């Protein structure tokens, strides 16, 4: 009896893929651009740019409203993109995909539409210390408005959630548990399936911020089992102004609209209105049609590359970075877990040099990184840091890019030593 083996996922060729990203074909201060800021926003491949250009050149019309050919083509492309994004995250019912402007709007939509009707005085909301402000501030506002209680899962010193404390917090019977899939500062990949299962056993609804997961690894929201999942298009090779909220159909159908106006209604009378079906109930007004179409093209691009291959490539890069940086840049301080537990993000500090100064000097050498608090001020407070520098990777990055980062960081040390 033989066991059927699954064919290995072909490895990515980042040098070849670089040609798909027109923006990379340029020099910065006389040096080839080394883009290491994909966690802030991804660069856009030619198929995405072309899809948006084609819409404006050939199909520019409003969706759902015209019975002429341009409008019908625009509507087909707009709704077709919804199907493509659904496939990317393991969703069969594309009507569970709501277009938003970004993950931030998606999370605010949940807090406004679900939260204000289900959270009351004394109810417990469990979050984590590593959350992006987008998955923190909406719940703060809701808790203040409803006199609810916020509780937080702490992290260990190496940036891993304290699951033992999570277990204790679940005994409080929270109404809602919200956490990030992958930390945008530490890169920590959280055990989302296990955390979702435990939260549901405690009777909580589960919201996941997937902004740093969807572009970088396989995501199947049905397998995870959560109730809501949010991510931004611009971090997933799509355009800015595009975002996604996935929610279970029964929850979305029971929720009231987030915004009022055109397209989210079935009938309007002077004193009452009837809402449209999902997802259009949450998509008031003329949408960013080209952004949705571009995000659909980005979903196709990611799926064609293979999410397993993307994850393997970025894991190799982060392992290389975590090895070479402390060896070649004496004194550098790295934050976060081991390569096996993190996505393609490496945050660090150079002792005696502010991260903003580090980033500015690196720019002289064509190396683009992020510096600041990365919209995670409470996490920085927990680690007793005012700011960090962050390098983050994409499909087009190579170990040579990390070597360029290392060489530039040495120049930072030389400059500030003098």
- Counting Cβ atoms within 10 Å, is residue 285 exposed (0-12), middle (13-18) or buried (19+)? exposed
Q: What are phi and psi of 335, to 5 degrees?
A: -130, 145
Q: Do both 282 and 349 map to the same domain?
A: no
In a domain? residue 88: yes
The CA-CA-CA angle for residues 263, 278, 49, to 5°, reads 70
So what's the pLDDT on residue 2?
38
What's the confidence (pLDDT) of residue 66? Answer: 82
Cα dihedral 309, 394, 138, 378 in deg (nearest 10): 110
**What is the CB neighbour count within 10 angstroms for residue 274?**
9
In whole angstroms, give the CA distance from residue 124 to residue 374: 27
DSSP letter for each residue of 160-203: -B-HHHHHHHHTT--SEEEEESB-TTT-BB--HHHHHHHHHHTT
For residue 351, give both structure tokens: 């002792």
Angle of helix 399-417 versus helix 355-364 axis, rounded to 10: 110
- Report field, pTM of the whole predicted structure over 0.75: yes
CA nearest to 334, candidates 356, 317, 351: 351
Tokens standing for residue 172:
């409080």
The β-bridge relationship of strands 333-335 and 345-349 is antiparallel
Phi, psi of 279 (to 5 degrees): -90, -5
The Cα 82–Cα 140 span in angstroms is 31
Pair (376, 412) in one structural domain: yes
Show pLDDT as tens, one digit a residue, over the chain (418 residues).
333 444 456 789 999 999 999 999 999 999 999 999 999 999 999 999 999 999 999 999 999 988 999 999 999 999 999 999 999 999 999 999 999 999 999 999 999 999 999 999 999 999 999 999 999 999 999 999 999 999 999 999 999 999 999 999 999 999 999 999 999 999 999 999 999 999 999 999 999 999 999 999 999 999 999 999 999 999 999 999 999 999 999 999 999 999 999 888 999 899 999 998 999 999 999 999 999 999 999 999 999 999 999 999 999 999 999 999 999 999 999 999 999 999 999 999 999 999 999 999 999 999 999 999 999 999 999 999 999 999 999 999 999 999 999 999 999 999 998 6
Q: Total structural domains in the chain? A: 2
Q: Are 107 and 138 in contact (CB under 8 A)?
A: yes
* 303 SS3 class: helix
Q: Is 275 helix (H, G, I), strand (E, B) or coil?
A: strand
274 shares its domain with 316: no
- 285, 304, 323 - which closes a domain: 304
Both 290 and 256 in one domain: the answer is yes
Assess if residue 140 is contained within a domain.
Answer: yes
Contact 112, 89 (CB under 8 A): no
Question: Is 202 part of any domain?
Answer: yes
Measured between alpha carbons, how far is 217 from 211 in angstroms, rounded to an integer?
11
Out of 40, 375, 377, 407, the active site residue is 375
Q: What is the phi-psi region of residue 260: left when phi exceeds 0, alpha when psi lies from -120 to 50, beta otherwise? A: beta
Determine the Cα angle at 27 with ends 22 and 31, to 5°: 140
Does one domain contain both 77 and 225? yes
Residue 69 in tokens: 């050919």
Query: Are 281 and 316 members of one domain?
Result: no
**Model pLDDT, residue 29:** 96
| Domain of residue 238, CATH code | 3.40.640.10
Strand partners, 368: 35
Domain range spanning residue 358? Answer: 306-417
Measured distance CA(28)–CA(21) in Å, rounded? 16
- What is the DSSP track for 14-28? HHHHGGG-GGGSSEE
Residue 8, in any domain of the structure? no
Structure tokens that stand for 298 in this block: 């980005």
The pLDDT assigned to 1 comes to 36
Same domain, residue pair 82 and 204: yes
296 and 54 Cβ atoms separated by less than 8 Å: no
- Say if residues 85 and 299 touch (Cβ distance below 8 Å): yes
Domain check: are 320 and 352 in the same one? yes
Is 90 found in the same domain as 201? yes
The residue assigned the tokens 């979903």 is 299
pLDDT value of position 333? 98
226: annotated active-site residue: no
Asked whether the beta carbons of 179 and 209 are under 8 A apart, the reply is yes
Burial 83-92 (b: 16+ CB within 10 A, else e): bbbbebbebe
If one counts every other C-beta atom within 10 angstroms of the C-beta of residue 32, the result is 15
For tokens 């069969």, the residue is 92
93 shares its domain with 233: yes
Q: At 67, list the tokens.
A: 């019975």
- Which CATH number fits the domain that encloses residue 397? 3.90.1150.10
Q: Where is the domain boundary, 275, 304, 333?
A: 304
For residue 21, tell me if it sits in a domain.
no
């Amino acid at each position: 009896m033989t066991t059927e083996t699954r064919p290995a996922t072909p490895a990515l060729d980042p040098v070849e893929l670089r040609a798909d990203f027109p923006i990379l074909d340029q020099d910065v201060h006389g040096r080839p651009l080394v883009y290491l800021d994909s966690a802030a926003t991804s660069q856009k491949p030619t198929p995405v740019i072309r899809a948006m250009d084609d819409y404006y050149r050939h199909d520019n019309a409003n969706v759902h409203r015209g019975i002429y050919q341009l409008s019908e083509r625009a509507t087909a492309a707009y709704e077709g993109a919804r199907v493509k994004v659904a496939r990317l995250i393991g969703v069969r019912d594309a009507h569970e995909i709501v277009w938003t402007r970004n993950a931030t709007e998606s999370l605010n939509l949940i807090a406004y539409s679900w939260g204000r009707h289900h959270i009351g005085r004394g109810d417990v909301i469990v979050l984590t210390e590593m959350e992006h402000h987008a998955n923190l501030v909406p719940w703060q506002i809701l808790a203040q408005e409803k006199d609810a209680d916020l509780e937080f899962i702490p992290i260990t010193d190496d940036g891993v959630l304290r699951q033992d404390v999570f277990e204790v917090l679940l005994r409080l019977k929270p109404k809602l548990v919200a956490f990030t899939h992958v930390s945008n500062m530490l890169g920590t990949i959280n055990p989302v399936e296990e955390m979702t299962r435990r939260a549901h056993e405690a009777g909580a609804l589960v919201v996941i911020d997937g902004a740093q997961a969807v572009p970088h690894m396989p995501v199947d929201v049905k397998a995870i089992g959560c109730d809501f999942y949010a991510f931004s298009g611009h971090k997933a090779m799509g355009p800015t102004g595009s975002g996604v909220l996935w929610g279970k159909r029964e929850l979305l159908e029971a929720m009231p609209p987030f915004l009022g106006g055109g397209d989210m209604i079935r009938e309007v009378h002077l004193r009452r209105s009837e809402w449209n079906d999902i997802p259009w109930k949450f998509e008031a007004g003329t949408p960013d049609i080209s952004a949705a179409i571009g995000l659909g093209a980005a979903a196709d691009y990611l799926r064609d590359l293979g999410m397993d291959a993307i994850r393997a490539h970025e894991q190799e890069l982060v392992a290389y970075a975590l090895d070479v940086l402390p060896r070649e840049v004496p004194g550098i301080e790295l934050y976060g877990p081991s390569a096996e537990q993190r996505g393609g993000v490496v945050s660090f500090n150079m002792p005696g040099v502010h991260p903003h100064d580090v980033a500015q000097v690196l720019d002289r050498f064509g190396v683009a990184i992020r510096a600041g608090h990365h919209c995670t001020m409470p996490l920085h407070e927990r680690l007793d840091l005012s700011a960090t520098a962050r390098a983050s990777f994409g499909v087009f990055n190579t170990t040579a890019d990390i070597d360029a980062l290392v060489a530039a960081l040495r120049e930072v040390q030389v400059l500030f030593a003098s």
